[in-house]
Chains A and B, each alone.
Chain A
Amino acid sequence: MARRPQNSPPTQQVPVHAAAHAGHAHGHDHSHVPGEPHIVPVKTYVLVFTSLMVLLVATLVAAAFDLGSVNLPVAMAIAIAKAVIIMTFFMHLKWSSVMVRFFATFAFFWLAVLFLLTMSDYVARDWHTAPRIPLIGEARDPNPYEAAPPSRPAGQAPAAAPGGGSGH
């Protein structure tokens, strides 16, 4: 770069220092000096941005076609690809320690736990099949979760109410 600030002489690195930390820092990248910033080439960033643009176009193309029930998985797969690229390069996980990568990955692991456990509860309890709120001008569905209406003509059997009342 053309302008170097006044107060930055080239770094003198003592070899012992590098050797002492080669074990725990920045695993695979031997050119990098621990404690100094990892300088990612501009070319890498431009390539990453280009691939993000390609994926954005892919998102729009996929949305333009009616893929039926595959719509959502395709859109999510492209979004996940974008997120992984941003995390790997822009967020420097490629050059981060195992510990930092572990934390970054586990953020999404906990999110998966939140989704799986809560969603399994919602799905298994059949809450989402509870009767719909009737629309304007629409007859009301018989509500199996409500008690039978208190006033009905004498001698008539109560309407069948699957799971009504006793289940809860």
Chain B
Amino acid sequence: MVAETHAAAHAAPAHADGHGGHSLLHHHFDDMAQQRECHSLGMWLFLATEVMMFGGLFFAYTLYRMIYPGAFHAGSHHLNHDLGTANTFVLLFSSLTMAMAVHAAAERNKRALLWYLAITVFLGLAFLGIKAVEWGTDFKEGLVPGVRWTYYLEHPDEIHELTKLHVGTQHVQLYFVVYFCMTGLHALHMIVGITLLLVFMALGAKGAFTNGNDQPVEIVGLYWHLVDIIWVFLFPLLYLIGPLHLHMLGGQH
């Protein structure tokens, strides 16, 4: 029997080495190496579906920016670049603390794990707080399509400027639809990530990840880093659209 021989060959290292952590081996895996590999692979497969989901929004962004470059330029100017930069820093820093939490779990250092998870949660909340301030400003200025789109009613002079550049305010509105969809879906992922980290803190306080079972922290870290990567692309695309050039408007005629 192939299976029997296989099992026998692995019995000694997997179960009889006196290492308590190996009771963490699920029965359908041969050994911890295979189990780790499968867990990583499964998470990366999920992350691939996340890339495709955000990819649809990135495609919408690309298409509408290609068709209405002037409107995207005008819309981008309404965003607060300083707050966007601050948020990029906060998220990149949270990726460092998340990586340090994974490191602490691998070293079975419960105290460090809990601290790094707590700092990561704090940074995640700081990101959402800054985002909420930005959205609040957008609402006050009347830049929320479908909810409060009054900015250009209150600034008719700017309509005139845009008209000279062949930019319609309805296309600036389109920019804000894309902006709110992309940052909204990203913020939803942040909320999910923060919730997961809070659960991990509660379990981690009981020692669930510092007994050799460190991989769940690594897996949740993969999710956190992917959400960070998405923001790395959102920031220049939404906030830092360069100055408008007339030749860019070719597609609008």
Chain A: residues with CB nearer than 8 A to chain B?
Answer: 1, 3-5, 7-9, 11-14, 16-17, 20-21, 25, 34-40, 42, 45-46, 48-49, 52-53, 56, 59-60, 63, 66-69, 71-72, 75-76, 78-79, 82-83, 86-87, 89-92, 96-97, 99-100, 103-104, 106-108, 110-111, 114-115, 118-119, 122, 128-129, 132-133, 135-138
**22 interchain pairs, CB-CB under 8 A:** A12-B19, A17-B10, A34-B33, A35-B36, A53-B89, A53-B92, A63-B240, A76-B233, A78-B236, A90-B96, A100-B40, A104-B44, A107-B52, A110-B48, A111-B55, A114-B56, A119-B62, A119-B63, A129-B253, A135-B168, A136-B163, A137-B163
- Give Cα distance in the complex from A67 to B242, angstroms: 8
Contacting pair B229 A107 (CB below 8 A)? no
Q: A34-B33, A90-B98, A135-B163 are in contact. List 17 more A-B contacts (CB 8 A).
A: A20-B10, A37-B105, A37-B218, A40-B103, A49-B95, A56-B88, A59-B88, A68-B242, A90-B221, A91-B222, A103-B48, A104-B48, A110-B48, A111-B52, A119-B62, A133-B170, A138-B163
CB atoms of A16 and B163 under 8 A apart: no
Q: Once bound together, how far apart are the Cα atoms of A107 and B48, in whole Å?
A: 5
Q: Is the CB of B225 within 8 A of A90?
A: yes
Instruction: With both chains docked as a complex, state the minimum distance between the C-beta of B197 and any C-beta of chain A, in angstroms.
Output: 15
Residues of the B chain whose Cβ atoms lie less than 8 Å from the Cβ of A92: 40, 218
Nearest B-chain residue to A89, judged by Cβ: B99
Given contacts A4-B108, A69-B245, contact A108 B92 (CB under 8 A): no
B112 proximity list for chain A (CB < 8 A)? 1
- The reply to whether B252 and A132 contact each other, CB–CB distance below 8 Å, is yes
**Which chain B residues in 5-27 approach chain A with CB under 8 Å?**
9-10, 12-14, 17-21
A-B pair number, CB within 8 angstroms: 213
* Chain B residues near A48 (CB-CB < 8 A): 96, 99
Answer whether residue B66 sits at the interface, using C-beta atoms and an 8 A cutoff: yes
Q: Which of A59, A103, A111 contacts B41 (CB 8 A)?
A: A103
Partner of B232, one of A20, A36, A79: A79
Chain B contact patch, size range: 35 or more
* Chain B 48-76 interface mask (CB, 8 Å, partner A; 1/0): 10011001101100110011000000000
